[in-house]
Amino acid sequence: MSDAKLEIIPLGGLGEFGMNCMALRYGDEMIVIDAGIMFSEVGHFGVDLMVPNFDFLEKNRDQLLAVVLTHSHEDHIGSLPFLLKKVNVPVYGTPFTLRVVEPRLEEHELDHCTQLNIVEAGSTITLGSFTVEYIRVSHSTVDCCALAVTTPIGTVIHTGDFKFDATPVCGDAIDVERLRALGQKGVLALFSDSTNVERPGQMPSERVVIPALEDIFDKAQKRIFVSCFASSIHRIQIMLDLAEQFDRQVLPVGRSMVRNIEIGRRTGFLDCADDLIIDSKDFKHFNPDEVVVLATGCQGEPMAAMARIAHRNHKQAWMEEGDTIVLSARQIPGNEKSISRLINQCYKNNTNVIDSSQARIHVSGHGAQDDLRMMLEAVRPKYFIPIHGEYRQLYRHKLYACRELGYSDDRVLMMESGDVLEFDRENVRFGERIEVGRISIDDTRSVEMDDAIIRDRKKLAYEGVVVACVALNEDTGTLMSQPEISTRGYMIVDGDQDEIEELRNVVLTTVEGVPAGERVNGKREVFQEQIRVALKRHIQKLTGQRPTIIPLVVTV
């Protein structure tokens, strides 16, 4: 394999936020780093989430050795079940990460056939020609690692999500010394998180939120409701510590919150007394000033715990006048309206609402410019490739490396999902692109949705539907009654009897133009299509609209 190339093939996460997934191939051996999802944007017609198109991996299934995970966030592990359904290979990750993965595999009935392999930070695994070292980094969740992948061509480092937090609330700090040691030995390429490249300075430690939260606990007279991401284990530990400090019991609400607290305690990242956390059935037995509720739904999701509590339709918890509501999370772009609705509802309950615009109760887990600089200075790669972000973040990361750190333009390589970057022992070049894309998922049934379904839903949403029903004599094909016309979402004629009568006349004219014998038996499908085409032409000429037209021919 002396002439083999090292290929870097991102299937998602470059040019977009989410769906992080990158394949590394040397010769006929391949590993995949992360397999994430992207949550649906507004107007995606029932699509809950999107996953990368794994056709490339399925086509090369004999080459794929394993999936290695950097950490437990959904944009890095969420599409793992969909990948494993196509190519079942071993999965490697840190203890907390794999504990979070387990219930997702159970939901997809993959738990009995998937090999999960725990890798501690600082450990190394060998997968064919790849040697993968897990290096501790800091992030908003715990047990996160960068990956140093050594190949016959050289060593590449994938940072995962990171920031330089010297004093994390839970777990160990980023292992800067190991990154520097690898840099001194020589790193071929660094693939580095670009999420917060537009923010100057260094991202503060998670501990920076403690004073503001402590002040909230000190002033609160009644219940405290805190909504944050269930994966924010550092933040949850702070809440547990403050609850104990101010003599309050903690009620976790929401499936992922309950589950992640349990996983955090089981893996040793969360520390609290056993009697600090109460069961939901005990909520009503405590005075308002004795309880803290940790709830999911910080993005205003209508079916999440926080929204249901605000609307007083949650079975286990409710808010009342004088309670304090803390939204300890950033607003994900696209969720502004749903969060605003949640805040409005909380105010309707005469509560005190505090979010990150009013107090320092949230800090990002992604490094700002100084963090990115420290990563580059520690690793000192021959080539640098920005990852994780829309194209503007990737490009600004390149500009920052060139302008502020002196990297030459030919050493900072811009990639997008689907590009193939090829390294040999002397050179680097771009190979032939592969086809990538997004697969839409209906998460209520955990199934992939065909593009045709999305197009149909979009058409129905914008144009509506027109149904024409024609009843014929089974033997003669003669018309038994006037055609029935019904519409939904077709605003030109909904409820307008004159317009409906005009559509009925179009159908009658079409029926009369077809011999009775050709309306039934083997000719029925052709006859139905003639009705559909006649209505389509009439409606387009009349309105310019193109509703879905459903002709129904029934025989009696």
Q: Give residue-wise pLDDT tens across range 204-250.
A: 999 999 999 999 999 999 999 999 999 999 999 999 999 999 999 99
Residue 206: how many CA atoms within 13 Å on its side-chain side? 27
CA geometry: angle at 184 spanning 178 and 186, to 5°?
Answer: 105
In sequence order, what are the residues at sequence separation of 6 or more whose Cβ sits closer than 8 angstroms to the Cβ of residue 109?
none
Task: Report residues of the chain scoring pLDDT below 50.
Answer: 42-43
Instruction: Please state, in angstroms and rounded to a whole number, the distance separating the CA atoms of residues 7 and 9.
Output: 6
Beta strands in 185-315 (DSSP E): 189-193, 224-227, 249-253, 291-295
CA geometry: angle at 317 spanning 312 and 318, to 5°?
Answer: 40
Closest CA to 198 of 18, 73, 364, 408: 364
Q: Which long-range contacts (CB under 8 A, 24 or more apart) does 400-407 make?
A: 400/197, 400/369, 400/372, 400/373, 401/376, 404/369, 404/373, 405/373, 405/376, 405/377, 407/376
Task: Compute φ and ψ for 188, nearest 5 degrees.
Answer: -65, -45
Q: Which two tokens stand for residue 309?
A: 């509590």
In Å, what is the CA distance from 246 to each residue of 27, 170, 171, 322? Answer: 60, 21, 24, 18
- What pLDDT is attached to residue 387? 97
SS3 assignment for 436-453: CCEEEEECCCCEEECHHH
Sole residue written with tokens 């839970």: 170
Instruction: Please state, in angstroms and rounded to a whole number, the distance separating the CA atoms of residues 257 and 227.
Output: 10
Classify residue 118 as left (phi > 0), alpha (psi -120 to 50) or beta.
beta
Residue 168: how many CA atoms within 13 Å on its side-chain side? 27
Instruction: Please state, in angstroms and rounded to a whole number, the distance separating the CA atoms of residues 61 and 241.
Output: 47
Give Cα 185 distance to the centre of its chain. 36
Q: Which two tokens stand for residue 417?
A: 């999902």
Q: How many CB atoms lie within 10 A of CB 283?
A: 19
- What pLDDT is attached to residue 451? 62
In sequence order, what are the residues at sequence separation of 6 or more whose Cβ sits closer than 8 angstroms to the Cβ of residue 539?
466, 492, 503, 545, 546, 547, 549
Judging by beta carbons within 10 Å of its beta carbon (0-12, 13-18, 19+), is residue 181 exposed, middle or buried? exposed
Sole residue written with tokens 């950097």: 70
Query: Listing from the earlier edge strand, what are the strands of the sheet with 116-118?
Result: 116-118, 91-93, 64-68, 29-33, 21-26, 6-12, 421-423, 428-430
Q: What are residue 29's DSSP bridge partners?
A: 26
Q: Which two tokens stand for residue 74?
A: 């959904």
Q: Which two tokens stand for residue 233?
A: 């284990």
Rg of the chain taking only CA atoms, in angstroms: 29
**pTM here?**
0.84
Residue ranges and CATH numbers for the domains of the chain are: 6-201+364-449 (3.60.15.10), 206-355 (3.40.50.10710), 464-555 (3.10.20.580)
Sole residue written with tokens 């006859």: 527
Strands 64-68 and 124-127: unpaired
SS3 assignment for 371-396: HHHHHHHHHCCCEEEEECECHHHHHH
Instruction: Please state, in angstroms and rounded to a whole number, the distance separating the CA atoms of residues 425 and 427.
Output: 6
Enclosing H/E stretch for 497: helix 497-512
- What pLDDT is attached to residue 45? 63
In Å, what is the CA distance from 236 to each residue of 19, 229, 243? Answer: 26, 9, 10
Instruction: Please state, in angstroms and rounded to a whole number, the distance separating the CA atoms of residues 45 and 3.
Output: 48
- What pLDDT is attached to residue 42? 45
